């Protein structure tokens, strides 16, 4: 077992005010989304990726599965941005999503995430996925995250 952090986080010099957030292990699922940035804006955390061709469907829009994966990962980036969890052992309990419009490939999309309530073990969040200067709505979502218990993962389940 290593003490290496699960995620690497740093200021992004190319995007002032934004922080990069990536897995330290490039073979994990999250890396399929590509580079991810986040920033805290008051009571909202904005999480950004730029969808590539590999994220497209046959209509040349962002694939719904890629969008769901982005939303799921954005929940944790936002919770981390708010300082509510350390990444690695929290889990998604539910994620409800309404697709509103198609996302364009090659243009950044943002998940704008807010915390509705925090309890001892749970975070209730909601948000929008938007694109462009006019913040065209692509999806709306709500979710519940179970925060880590503080116990290390079992050896037989650690990867």
Q: Please give the structure tokens belonging to residue 154.
A: 């079992």
Band of residue 4 on the pLDDT scale cut at 50, 70, 90: low
The model carries a pTM of 0.85
Q: Please give the structure tokens belonging to residue 42.
A: 């008051």
Q: Is there a contact between 51 and 62 (Cβ–Cβ < 8 Å)?
A: yes
Q: Please give the structure tokens belonging to residue 132.
A: 């462009």
Give the three-state DSSP class for 66: helix
Closest CA to 71 of 105, 40, 97: 97
Residue that has been written with the tokens 């929290």 in this structure: 90
- CATH fourth-level superfamily of 7-146: Hotdog Thioesterase (3.10.129.10)
Q: Where do the domains of the chain lie?
A: 7-146
Q: Please give the structure tokens belonging to residue 100.
A: 């509103």
pLDDT digits (tens, 9 = 90+) for 98-151: 999 999 999 999 999 999 999 999 999 999 999 999 999 999 999 999 998 765
């Amino acid at each position: 077992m290593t003490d290496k952090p699960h995620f690497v986080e740093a200021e992004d010099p190319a995007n002032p005010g934004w922080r990069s957030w990536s897995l330290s292990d490039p073979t994990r699922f999250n890396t399929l989304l590509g580079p991810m940035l986040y920033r805290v804006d008051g009571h909202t955390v904005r999480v950004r990726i730029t969808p590539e061709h590999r994220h497209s469907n046959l209509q040349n829009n962002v694939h719904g599965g890629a969008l769901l994966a982005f939303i799921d990962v954005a929940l944790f980036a936002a919770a981390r941005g708010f300082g509510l969890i350390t990444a690695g052992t929290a889990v998604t309990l539910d994620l409800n999503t309404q697709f509103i419009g198609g996302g364009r490939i090659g243009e950044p999309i943002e998940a704008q995430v807010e915390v509705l309530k925090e309890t001892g073990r749970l975070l209730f969040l909601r948000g929008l996925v938007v694109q462009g200067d006019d913040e065209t709505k692509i999806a709306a979502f709500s979710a519940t995250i179970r925060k880590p218990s503080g116990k290390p993962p079992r050896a037989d389940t650690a990867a």
